Structure 1
Amino acid sequence: MTHALPGYICSEDGTRADVRTAPWGCPVCGGPWDLDFTPDPAAVLEPAAGPNSLWRYGSVLPLPGAFSVSLAEGHTPMVPLAERIHAKLDFLMPTRSFKDRGAVMLVELARRLAPQRVVADSSGNAGTAVAAYCARAGLACEIFVPEGTSEKKTERMRSHGAEVRVVPGGREAASEAARAAADAPGVFYASHVFNPYFLHGTKTYVYEVWEELGGRLPEALVVPVGNGTLLLGAALAVEELARRGVRPPALIAVQAEAVSPLAQAFAAGAEEAAPVEQRPTLAEGIAIPAPPRARQILAAVRKSGGTVLTVPDDRLQEAQRDLARRGLSVEPTAAACWAAVGPAAPGDPLQGRTAVLPLCGAGG
């Protein structure tokens, strides 16, 4: 039985495209695609009856029919960090990052489209995740990374069989190189920023929180934000669950103080974020000076009644040490949310609300 794949739609100008023939971005404005897909709120949602992976939420995912790509991703546990605050341990994902949630969706989509090769761009976790799932699916994979990417990260990508292309320049140069390669015939661009199927994978993070809390959500979801793929996935899930009668939480975005275009735009009341300077920070994973989905991120945070917080590197370091003293060893970027709302945070950023935050990446 052949199942139709939901098509792409541009939120800026309404352009539509078929997934099987679409370019990597909107041909009119060049922006990222959204997905023409809304789950039926009447569809049965019984995750406990499904597989022990994020495919347990198949009834609300945009890839119908049987899936074949999986590394038993998802279903990660939550542990208490402080009174009213829980951490969700996404460092227990197969490649230690929430990016597995989106990568498995992109690679399952690619498997169905049967390209000659898959290309992606990344400076770390997303590239590793795409490489791992392509290896699982038997797809040829090529990852474009900016010069200066750590050898530890590029070696992990190569270990999964990916060809790694080091591009002179920064993160945007790697993206441009990947997009140029994606224009060739027979190539699927597994972009965690431009392809909306990725967001429908990351939304399973919130469905798992909902399941683990017995059919409800906390009063706030605290999320690290660079390109915003976890926050936008969270916003999708919150909206979908609200149609099922679940009370929506506030979305609290956290940025590195050194590179915080969204925080600046939010404070100014702007609908779009102006690009900022790429400055050094320990939170490399969220140091994105010009996120392509900035307008969507800002709108989602405002709609939820949330806010955008920033953390300086010294507080981030202390938060990372504090988590380690609690038995949780995570990479610096992953400590950003704890730095923003934990004991060392100034004031009461959560305003007494219950909250869940993600921890991903191991050590380092």
Structure 2
Amino acid sequence: MLICTVCGKENDERNLPWRCGCGGPLSPVFEGAEPMNRHRVNPSEQGMWRYATSLPPGPAFKRITMGEGWTPLVRQDWGETEIFLKLDYTCPTGSYKDRGMAYLVSIIHSLGVREVIEDSSGNAGASMAAYSARAGIKCRVFVPEYTSAGKCVQITSSGAELVRIPGTREDTTRAAEKAAESTYYASHNWSPWFAHGVKTFAFEIWEQLGFEAPDALLLPAGQGSLVIGCYLAFSELLESGEIQQLPKLYALQPENCAPLVKAFEKDSPCPEKILKKETIAEGISSAEPVRGREVLKAVRESGGAVLSFSEQEIWDGFLKLCRLGYYVEPTSAIAAAAADRLFRTGTLRSGTKTAAILTGSGLKAGDKILSLLSDPPRGK
């Protein structure tokens, strides 16, 4: 059963709703399940599935998997302090999206879906194309015209149909929703299951730190699935007594597209309407986050913040990570920009156990990176 996060109406998942009739996003009903604790971790399972008992009990399903998860957590010197970097760009298709997609595709395949439409800035589309191919699902992916060539090549190489849409990321979503009037809309942003797959990265950090939570997490945020996933995971661990308080969640957005920042600053429960500009952080260029209420609630309850960063700050973060050996796409580099600012200003002090997720591989964005090396962003 799925429940609307806005009006509370129950929806039968067998009817394949992708959102409530009121327009609100859906979440799975998760009754009677014991929250995650160290005794429920199954070390014999591969990757993210070691936490399978924490996934909502939907229909019986065959796992559509490529071994996603259990990515490295690297202790990295950072000036006068250190940070833990979660290398989720080492997932099978090169981004953290594989966690959510493995679970999402497993569920919809079990419900009989054999054809889907997805819209994406690139990484989710590449992941959906790969997992759909593995499941035998016909897939059509809508992307903005500006999407990096490497991601588009991934999508088509998996056998999916690629549809480029001129204009903004939001124009791409509207085109996909129109096309999905006759085909199942498997949007990872609207999916009730996607964030539960994503939350496994937070469980991994907890386990890799010796079953301890970090004090703070730095999370790139467009639609905000990383923030929601973190909140879900650490809320379970808090409920089970494994941790004593939630880590502070820092949701990170580019100044050129920061609807959550404006809402956070105004203490508004909903994302603000904005006029977005082009950003090198294409993976989080989302002006209309559909689960924005959930993201803002999670950040506030954790005692964290929503922050924005200039194009030059993001680019400087990219170069810093590259010089340390981490070749990520510019979207991921916003975490480095955040670490620099938060340690410099004393918001995070030396000795604070801070973790950041690096979300996507630089190999996906070679064309954009080459262009930026020739003409980098300037000015704060």
TM-score w.r.t. length of structure 1: 0.92
* 1:219 equivalent among 215, 220, 244: 215
Q: Which residue of 1 aligns with 2:335?
A: 337
Q: Is the 8 A contact 1:53 1:73 kept in 2?
A: yes
Relative to structure 1, is the Cα distance of residues 113 and 66 closer, same or farther in structure 2, using a 3 angstrom cutoff? closer
* 1:235 equivalent among 198, 216, 231: 231
User: Residues 259-304 of structure 1: CA distance to partner in whole angstroms, max 9, x if unpaired?
Assistant: 1111111111111121111201111111211211111111110011
Identify the range of structure 1 (339-348 vs 123-132) with the bigger mean alpha-carbon deviation: 339-348
Is the aligned partner of 1:195 residue 2:191?
yes
> Which amino acid letter does the alignment assign opposite residue 205 of structure 1?
F
Is the aligned partner of 1:204 residue 2:200?
yes
Q: Which residue of 1 aligns with 2:376?
A: none
Q: Is the 8 A contact 2:116 2:184 kept in 1?
A: yes
Q: Is the 8 A contact 1:339 1:345 kept in 2?
A: no
Distance 2:341 2:196 in 1: 33
Distance 1:339 1:249 in 2: 19
Q: Which residue of 1 aligns with 2:353?
A: 354
Shift of 1:48: 4.6
> Which amino acid letter does the alignment assign opposite residue 211 of structure 1?
E
Distance 2:359 2:299 in 1: 22
Q: Is the 8 A contact 1:145 1:165 kept in 2?
A: yes
* 1:107 equivalent among 91, 105, 108: 105
Shift of 1:346: 4.3
* 1:72 equivalent among 59, 64, 67: 67
Shift of 1:345: 6.2
Q: Which residue of 2 aligns with 1:3?
A: none
Relative to structure 1, is the Cα distance of residues 203 and 218 closer, same or farther in structure 2, using a 3 angstrom cutoff? same
- Backbone CA RMSD of aligned residues: 1.9
Distance 1:280 1:349 in 2: 29
Q: Which residue of 1 aligns with 2:172?
A: 174
Q: Is the 8 A contact 2:170 2:287 kept in 1?
A: no
Shift of 1:97: 0.6
Q: Is the 8 A contact 1:31 1:194 kept in 2?
A: no
How is 1:142-291 mapped onto 2 (pairs within 5 angstroms)? 142-184=140-182, 187-245=183-241, 246-247=243-244, 248-291=246-289
Q: Is the 8 A contact 2:170 2:286 kept in 1?
A: no
Unaligned stretches of 5+ residues in structure 2:
366-380
Relative to structure 1, is the Cα distance of residues 252 and 315 closer, same or farther in structure 2, using a 3 angstrom cutoff? same
Shift of 1:13: 0.6
Relative to structure 1, is the Cα distance of residues 100 and 42 closer, same or farther in structure 2, using a 3 angstrom cutoff? closer
> Which amino acid letter does the alignment assign opposite residue 259 of structure 1?
C
Q: Which residue of 2 aligns with 1:34?
A: 27
Identify the range of structure 1 (306-315 vs 40-49) with the bigger mean alpha-carbon deviation: 40-49
Q: Which residue of 1 aligns with 2:4?
A: 10
Distance 1:225 1:190 in 2: 20
Q: Is the 8 A contact 2:36 2:237 kept in 1?
A: no
User: Residues 295-336 of structure 1: CA distance to partner in whole angstroms, max 9, x if unpaired?
Assistant: 111111001111112111111111111111111111111010
Shift of 1:178: 2.0
Q: Is the 8 A contact 2:129 2:159 kept in 1?
A: yes
> Which amino acid letter does the alignment assign opposite residue 56 of structure 1?
R
Shift of 1:244: 1.3
Shift of 1:150: 3.1
Relative to structure 1, is the Cα distance of residues 356 and 341 closer, same or farther in structure 2, using a 3 angstrom cutoff? same
> Which amino acid letter does the alignment assign opposite residue 64 of structure 2?
V
* 1:88 equivalent among 69, 86, 89: 86
Aligned residue for 1:318, secondary structure, equals helix
Aligned residue for 1:26, secondary structure, equals coil
Is the aligned partner of 1:57 residue 2:55?
no
> Which amino acid letter does the alignment assign opposite residue 244 of structure 1?
S
Q: Is the 8 A contact 2:99 2:200 kept in 1?
A: yes
Identify the range of structure 1 (335-344 vs 305-314) with the bigger mean alpha-carbon deviation: 335-344
> Which amino acid letter does the alignment assign opposite residue 218 of structure 2?
V
Identify the range of structure 1 (173-182 vs 307-316) with the bigger mean alpha-carbon deviation: 173-182
Shift of 1:168: 3.5
Aligned residue for 2:179, secondary structure, equals helix
> Which amino acid letter does the alignment assign opposite residue 23 of structure 1?
P
Q: Is the 8 A contact 1:259 1:287 kept in 2?
A: yes
